[in-house]
Amino acid sequence: MIWRGVAGKEAVVGVLKVFDTWVEVPGKTLHFDVMAGDQATALRLANEYVAAQGHAAIAVTAEECRFCHQEPLVMFTEHQQEEFRASGGFIVALSA
């Protein structure tokens, strides 16, 4: 089954790509996973997240945001699933 999401992009329903992300910011390292259907969406969400943490001047690239593996959508909370459907993905903050 195909789901047509944000900007007409398609993703197989039930599977998310996990992008392990490590970003150096002044004084610390941010570590988080981006759950998305594709790399372009993962990079957009990663940059929005870093900016929301007060580091808008730092650009996240594919070097910091790397595809790791896939996970079934059903393993995430209903809120996370809704966020995926609404914006193409979501962030899971991790300890550095």
Distances (CA, A) of 83 to 31, 37, 61, 90: 20, 12, 22, 6
> Average pLDDT for residues 83-95, to the nearest whole number?
95
Instruction: Return the percentage of the chain with pLDDT > 90, whole number.
Output: 84
Looking at residue 16, what is its pLDDT?
Answer: 94
Q: What is the DSSP letter of 64?
A: T
Alpha helices in the chain (DSSP H): 39-52, 78-87
The per-residue pLDDT for 9 is: 52
Spatial neighbors of 54 by CB under 8 A, at least 6 apart, are none
**48: which 2 tokens?**
């929005």
Whole-structure pTM over 0.95, yes or no?
Answer: no
- CATH for 2-94, options being 3.40.630.10, 3.30.70.1880, 3.40.50.10860, 3.10.510.10: 3.10.510.10
Beta bridge partners of 66: 20
